[in-house]
Structure 1
């Protein structure tokens, strides 16, 4: 991810897309507890880091309190979401210097 605002917006949109997949999966399986955690913080209020951090905190608490809710087909989606969240939070517009090679 670069420091361009469009890249940030695309990363946040990817977070939203993966959240929607989790939402659909948990609705189909009637998994009420994980749905409650997700719906507590999603849809995101905005694309700022505070909203994404709130989502990360809620999902971290879900994984600690109800690890059984993340089994089966949900686990790969959950891991993908964690990776997307990391991208948004770890690189929220930091200007990176180009790599110079000899």
Structure 2
């Protein structure tokens, strides 16, 4: 749980870092379909729950429609990303600069 605003910021940074690694992985392997899903919802316009929810929804749809895209080296990154997303979405009351993230 993100108990402090600095932890919230760190979690958003972890999300962006994981997305960047997925982007790099899928670019290297020329995996166009997962890249399309990722780029539909990332980069995040802000670190608020609405943006993070959109990312979660996009990745969920990717996992349903193209489960093979999340195998190999993408799998541990996807797992890390899922944990960070859950941390923000399960505890949405803990935010900093509320107006900046809405």
Tell me the TM-score range normalised by the shorter chain.
0.7 to 0.9
Q: Return the offset for 1:70.
A: 1.1
Asked if the contact 1:37–1:58 (Cα under 8 Å) also holds between the matched residues in 2, the reply is: yes
Unpaired runs of 5+ in structure 1? 95-102
Asked if the contact 2:34–2:62 (Cα under 8 Å) also holds between the matched residues in 1, the reply is: yes
Aligned residues: 94
State how 1:1-102 maps to structure 2 within 5 Å.
1-94=1-94
Distance in structure 2 (CA, Å) of the matches to 1:83 and 1:18: 11
Unpaired runs of 5+ in structure 2? 95-102
Distance in structure 2 (CA, Å) of the matches to 1:3 and 1:92: 11
Distance in structure 1 (CA, Å) of the matches to 2:2 and 2:22: 27
Asked if the contact 2:22–2:74 (Cα under 8 Å) also holds between the matched residues in 1, the reply is: yes
Q: Return the offset for 1:91.
A: 1.8
Distance in structure 2 (CA, Å) of the matches to 1:43 and 1:76: 20
Asked if the contact 1:42–1:55 (Cα under 8 Å) also holds between the matched residues in 2, the reply is: yes
RMSD: 1.1
Task: After superposition, give the CA deviation of every residue in 1:41-67 in whole Å (9 maximum; x if it has no partner).
Answer: 100010110000000000000000001
Q: Return the offset for 1:78.
A: 0.8
Give the TM-score, by structure 2 length. Answer: 0.86
Match in the other structure for 1:99: none
Decide which moves more: 59-68 or 74-83. Answer: 74-83
